[in-house]
Copies of this chain bind each other. A is one copy, B any other.
Amino acid sequence: MIGTGSIAKAHSNAFRQVGHFFNSPYELGLKVICGRNQEKLASAAAQWGWAETATDWQGVVGRPDIDVVDIAVPNALHAPIAIAAARAGKIVWCEKPLATSLAEGEGMAKAMRNVPSLIWYNYRRIPAVVFAKRLISEGRIGQTYHYRATYLNQSGNDPSKATTWRYRRSEAGMGAAGDLLSHSIDSALYLNGSITELTAISHTFAAGRDVDDATLLLARFANGSIGTFEATRYGVGCRNRKTLEINGSKAMLRFNLEEMNQLEFLDATEPANQQGVRNMSVTGPDHPYSNNFWKPGHIIGYEHTFITTLGDFLSTLDRQQTSHADLDAAVEVQRVLDAVERSAASRSWVKLQGRQSGRPS
């Protein structure tokens, strides 16, 4: 694993836990954790049981005793590490967003085609989101009319504190668009299919910051629905509010990451006087992953989204299949982000060449 930050912690946890909840043919050995800060390295290694530490990722990614390289570093480093690892024949697991630009992402994809890979769009593998996908696939929503997504946090509101790599173009590529909107786009492509055109605003509130604090867009989807997206680091009052809503001819669906064990559903085919927004606890029985974790009514947390993503990867790896958060899907997100940037810069609508995303079911 390359990286020692908070996401690296979530990854380490997933490596430790996946075998406890998924029956995988693979056992993960935590070999080397790689970072620049010796103190953080030592602490992370001790806490999670990494066998070795290293400060030079170049010296690690090609080691013959390493099968997988996990990338949990600032966005600008994804490409060099992923490409080097793929060329060395390693399985690559990479944080989202895949890249800092579409061109870079396409270059990575080319290099990574020959190895199994996973991009950590973990919110796609939340039980409630997978259950939403199931309801959609079963036709419970009917024709989709509207898709509505927000991802609001307040991390940028204090410019004196918002000073990490996430607020610098050279390291992050994008601001809220890469950090937050990418997740919303990934969910949308997964649940609602391709976007065909969009128009966007990209806005920076803080003086001197060279990435977007907020990105908003209107979009048209290939399935005929229309959508709005809003991602911001100035959503004061919200710490991690990622929502999505779908209105279809037969039903409404709503999901909010802050209450990630729940899915709201209104079945518009029921008698009109009994319709109401139904709050379903997606903790079983007969829900995605409900046999993996706890008894119905006993919730899971943030970290489980990494465990399910990894569990799926390991299960499908065995069958030579790609799992859900795959490379193609991640490139597709980049393609939309690229269109967003172009639209915001040109103040005009931008068309995308549609491709049906989210293929694995």
Contacts and interface: CB of A to CB of B under 8 A. Distances in A.
Contact of A237 (B224, B268, B285): B268
Interface stretch (A86-94, A187-195, A298-306, A322-330): A298-306
Contacts of A237: 247, 251-252, 266, 268, 275, 277
A267 to B, nearest CB: 8
A39 interface: no
Given A145-B234, A146-B214, A268-B237, A276 B278 contact: yes
Contacts of A169: none
A281 to B, nearest CB: 6
Nearest to A267: B274
A122 B234 CA distance: 31
A165 interface: no
A278 B10 CA distance: 30
B252 A236 contact: yes
A226 B214 contact: yes
B268 A154 contact: yes
Interface stretch (A60-68, A102-110, A199-207): A199-207
A8 B235 CA distance: 40
A360 interface: no
Contact of A299 (B216, B260, B283): B260
Nearest to A247: B236
Contacts of A236: 145, 247-252, 266, 268
A183 to B, nearest CB: 13
A224 B348 CA distance: 20
Contacts of A19: 47
- Classify the interface of chain A: helix, strand, loop or mixed: mixed
B302 A302 contact: no
A259 B275 CA distance: 17
A278 B278 contact: yes
Interface string A138-171: 0000000110101011100100000000000000
Interface of A: 6, 10, 12-13, 16-17, 19-20, 47-48, 131, 145-146, 148, 150, 152-154, 157, 199-201, 203, 205, 214, 216-218, 220, 224, 226, 228, 230, 232, 234-241, 247-252, 258-260, 263-266, 268, 271-281, 283-287, 293-304, 347-349
29 contacts: A16-B17, A145-B157, A146-B234, A152-B247, A154-B268, A201-B218, A201-B220, A216-B228, A235-B247, A236-B250, A236-B268, A237-B251, A237-B252, A237-B275, A237-B277, A238-B297, A239-B296, A240-B296, A241-B297, A258-B297, A260-B299, A264-B276, A273-B287, A275-B280, A276-B280, A293-B301, A299-B301, A300-B303, A348-B348
